[in-house]
Amino acid sequence: MKTYKICVIKGDGIGPEIVDEAIKVLDAVSHKFGFELEYDHRLMGGCAYDVFGEPLPDETLESALNSHAVLFGAIGGAKWDNLPRDKRPESGLLKIRKSLGAFANLRPAVIYDELINASTLKSEVVRDVDILVVRELTGGLYFGQPREKKDESAFNTMIYTKAEIERIAKIAFEAALKRNKKVCMVDKANVLETSQLWREVTSQVAKNYPDVSLEFMYVDNAAMQLVRNPRYFDVILTENLFGDILSDEASMICGSIGLLPSASMGGKVGIYEPIHGSAPDIAGQGIANPIATILSGALMLRYALNEEEAASAIEEAVKKALSEGYRTKDISAYDAKEICTTAEMGSVIAGLI
């Protein structure tokens, strides 16, 4: 039987609860579609700092590098907020993204008809929204050197090379070819030199994709257009920090940040993770929504393991669970027939496979 090795990083806060449910669902599909998933559980984030004194222990990185994919929950919490920056849980996540070469972060934001009332926007505005945010993930302000915090001042460096822009732009155009063939590149070219370079390089890449239209939009305007007319967008291509911000905004359009999966790819091994954080305020209460992580498992099957049928089966099961009225607490106000705990939602979806 085909066997895939998955490095599982549950992390902190609600991470362990939501990843357990994703595994439940992955086990159901692997059983049905005749392959095996072998899980190697490793620590990253605050929990890793507590054991190893490092947010990303070498053995975790090694396991990730030796796996077909990484399934990741979330990291962070108040307990570790005052550590020096390189010991903070977030540094572990940034380091694994960089070490795996995961420069392309795909964040699909799709509205489910069943949850149209869960959006904070009017249903006629959000119906049929289907956006793919393609976020550059290993460059820009997050990684730029030099950077420093002093007592009276602090600075960061926003730097991008032509090669970094080129490779992420290609990913966006390739994705657009399979969708509505529209790329909107979001930047701040009226102020930033990096954005000017992004425009030049992206225009060059666009020449190889005559069937895809390219437009540029300033990030402030994009933030506004996303809530004014989100259906306008197909693929949004943008740099690291803008993508971080806009993808959270896009998730609320869809009803809950607990719904959006992501794939961080580009290197040998990809990381599949919900876009939300570790939500320490609700950890351990069984009320977290596991759907974003379950759908990240589907992206993992599709992109890392080429198990398209199994990936679609998960997506169909999620839709079915929602249309049958199963809801976790975050979306319980919207046409719920049954309010579920985190584990119940996982079991319902696994049962529908």
Binding site for ligand IPM (CB under 6 A): 90, 93, 244, 275, 277
172 carries a ligand binding annotation: no
Q: Which does 294 bind (CB under 5 to 8 A by kind): Mg ion, ligand IPM, none?
A: none
Q: Is 220 a residue of the active site?
A: yes
Contact range with Mg ion by CB under 5 A, out of 49-57, 144-152, 218-226, 237-245: 237-245
Whole-angstrom Cα distance, residue 129 to residue 226?
Answer: 10
The Cα-based distances of 17 to 24, 63, 188, 291 in angstroms read 11, 21, 39, 11
Q: What is the pairing mode between strands 69-74 and 2-11? A: parallel
344 binds, among ligand IPM, Mg ion, none (CB under 5 to 8 A by kind): none
Whether the CB-CB separation of 235 and 175 falls below 8 Å is answered with yes
> Under a CB-based contact definition with an 8 Å cutoff, are residues 136 and 243 in contact?
yes
Nearer to ligand IPM, 24 or 97 (CB): 97
Partner whose footprint covers residue 16, from ligand IPM, Mg ion, none (CB < 5 to 8 Å by kind): none
> Three-state secondary structure along 324-348?
CCEECHHHCCCCCCEECCHHHHHHH
Residue nearest to Mg ion (CB): 244
One of 20, 40, 248, 335 is an active-site residue; which one?
248
Judged by CB under 5 A, which stretch of 41-49, 64-72, 195-203, 239-247 contacts Mg ion? 239-247
By CB under 5 A, is residue 136 in contact with Mg ion? no
**Is 244 one of the binding residues for Mg ion (CB under 5 A)?**
yes
Between residues 227 and 245, which has the closer beta carbon with respect to ligand IPM? 245
Backbone angles phi, psi at 319, to 5 degrees: -60, -45
Closest CA to 72 of 273, 267, 293, 298: 273
Q: Give kind and range of the element (H or E) at residue 92.
A: helix 89-99
231 known member of a binding site? no
Pick the closer one to Mg ion by CB: 55 or 346. Answer: 55
Task: For residue 13, give the DSSP letter.
Answer: T
The first and second tokens of residue 31, run together, are 């059983």
Pick the catalytic residue from 244, 272, 326, 330: 244
Q: How far is the CB of 88 from Mg ion (least distance, A)?
A: 15
Q: Which is nearer to ligand IPM, 110 or 177 (CB)?
A: 110
Q: How far apart are CA 284 and CA 268, in angstroms?
A: 34
**Closest to 18 (Cα-Cα) out of 260, 310, 308, 321:** 260
Token reading at 194: 């990096």
Tracing tokens 């080129």 back to the chain, one arrives at: 166
State yes or no: residue 12 binds Mg ion (CB under 5 A). no
Closer to ligand IPM by Cβ: residue 93 or 263: 93
CB of 22 to Mg ion, least distance (A): 19
Q: What's the min distance (Å) between Cβ of 109 and ligand IPM?
A: 13
Question: Is 277 among the annotated ligand-binding positions?
Answer: yes
Annotated catalytic residue, options 4, 49, 142, 209: 142
**Residue 248 annotated in active site:** yes
- Check if 182 is active-site: no
82 is in an annotated binding site: yes
Q: How far apart are CA 33 and CA 311, in angstroms?
A: 10
Q: Is 279 annotated as belonging to a binding site?
A: yes
Pick the piece of the chain touching Mg ion (CB under 5 A) from 101-109, 236-244, 280-288, 337-345: 236-244
Whether omega before 55 lies within 30 degrees of 0, making that bond cis, reads: no
Residue 89 is assigned to a ligand binding site: yes
Can you tell me which residue has the tokens 């559980």? 41
| Distance set, CA 41 to CA 71, 235, 284, 309 (Å) | 10, 34, 19, 26
Binding-site sequence positions for NAD(+): 77-90, 277-289
Residues at the annotated binding site?
Answer: 77-90, 97, 107, 135, 220, 244, 248, 277-289
Q: Which residues are catalytic?
A: 142, 188, 220, 244, 248
Which residues of this protein are in contact with Mg ion, per CB under 5 A? 244
Please give the annotated binding residues for substrate, written as ranges. Answer: 97, 107, 135, 220
